[in-house]
Amino acid sequence: MPKCWSQGGSDAVRCKVFVGTLSGAALKWFSGIPRATVTSFPMFARMFLERFVANRAKPPRMSDLFDVRQGTEEPLRDYLNRFCDASTNIPNLDEEILVDAFVKGLRANSFSESLVKNLAISLAEVRLRVSIHIEAEDVMKHK
């Protein structure tokens, strides 16, 4: 990457390079800035951040997992996969809280009752118990 794109170069060059990356709402916003209002790249960068910082996706947090709920007709396997996907990008996972969040999100049924009575200590144990439960359900369906 040329030096003027990331550091150095004149403010005019830096602004033009940056503007070339804009699209959609950001480009529309830029087009609405009155001429000769922006006097430096740092000023332009500050204006941009003030306008669009709220659009940044918030990083996932452990507490977000308590919002993951099993749907009314959602199979247990699908809920487990969706829960695991939701937990993938969360740093410093605490296994106990992870299991608590999973159990809280389960629909009330015999499996959730068994997890409450005999709480798993890790998500790996939950996965194992889910697979055993699903296998048992499949056997019962074919009887």
The per-residue pLDDT string of the chain (143 residues; one tens digit each, 9 = 90 and over) reads 333 344 556 777 877 788 888 888 888 888 888 888 888 888 888 888 888 777 677 778 888 999 999 999 998 989 999 999 999 888 888 999 999 999 999 999 888 898 889 988 898 999 999 999 888 877 887 77
CA–CA dist 80, 83 (Å, integer)? 5
CATH class of this structure's domain 62-141 = mainly alpha
Please choose, from the candidates 77, 82, 120, 75, the residue with its C-alpha nearest in 3D space to the C-alpha of residue 99.
Answer: 120
Report the predicted TM-score, pTM, of the whole model to 2 decimal places: 0.60
Domain boundaries in the chain? 3-55, 62-141
